[in-house]
Amino acid sequence: MKMSLQFWNLKWGNKGFIFTLDMIIAMTFTIIILILANYYVRSTENPLTKLQMEKTGSDIAALLDNLGILDTLSDEEIEEDLEDILPVNYDIKLSIITKKGITLNIGSALPDDKYVISGKRVFVVTQNNIIADEAFVQYWIWLK
């Protein structure tokens, strides 16, 4: 015991050092908290990206409906038009189900590792100016 007290060889003993050690521990904790807080403040996501993605998905579904592309109920035709309309940095999957039982799945497979936004739009299938069916299109959109 006596050996360890004399280890630091301070002429005023080790009391002052213990007090400073407390301070160093407190300071270390404070700095860790500041660094963690800084990390969390810095990593706040930009809300614009998600909002823009949500609006793009909704707009694309509305556009396909308004241009009468969905009325064709042809997966090839819808996919072809979708390629022209969809912005290059986005990928999309569409699932169309009509009341009469027609089901279409168009676009890429859903990714496991990306943030995906989904939405649904109800529409009326009009062919030759006659309401032929009722349907909904569900879309999933994500950044490539």
Partner 1 sequence: MPKSQAAVADLFIAFFLFIIVLSATIYTWNIYITRIDEERENNEITMKAFQAAEALVKSQGIPENWSLSSVNLTGLAENERILSFKKVDLFVNLTEEQIKNIFKIQLYNFSFVLKDIEGNKIKEIGSITGEKSVNVKRYVVYENEPAILEFKMGK
CA quadruple 46, 52, 53, 54: dihedral, nearest 10? 110
- By beta-carbon proximity to partner 1, the closer residue of 52 and 72 is 52
**Shortest distance, position 15 Cβ to partner 1, whole Å:** 7
**Shortest distance, position 112 Cβ to partner 1, whole Å:** 27
**Shortest distance, position 99 Cβ to partner 1, whole Å:** 22
What is the rounded CA–CA span in Å between residue 62 and residue 15?
75
- By beta-carbon proximity to partner 1, the closer residue of 20 and 105 is 20
CA of residue 127 relative to chain centroid, distance = 37
Q: Which residues bind partner 1 (CB under 8 A)?
A: 10-13, 15-16, 19-20, 23-24, 27, 30-31, 34, 37-38, 41-42, 44, 46-48, 51-52, 55-56, 59-60, 62-63, 66-67, 84-85, 87
Report which DSSP code applies to 53: H
Q: 91: closest CA among 75, 70, 115?
A: 115
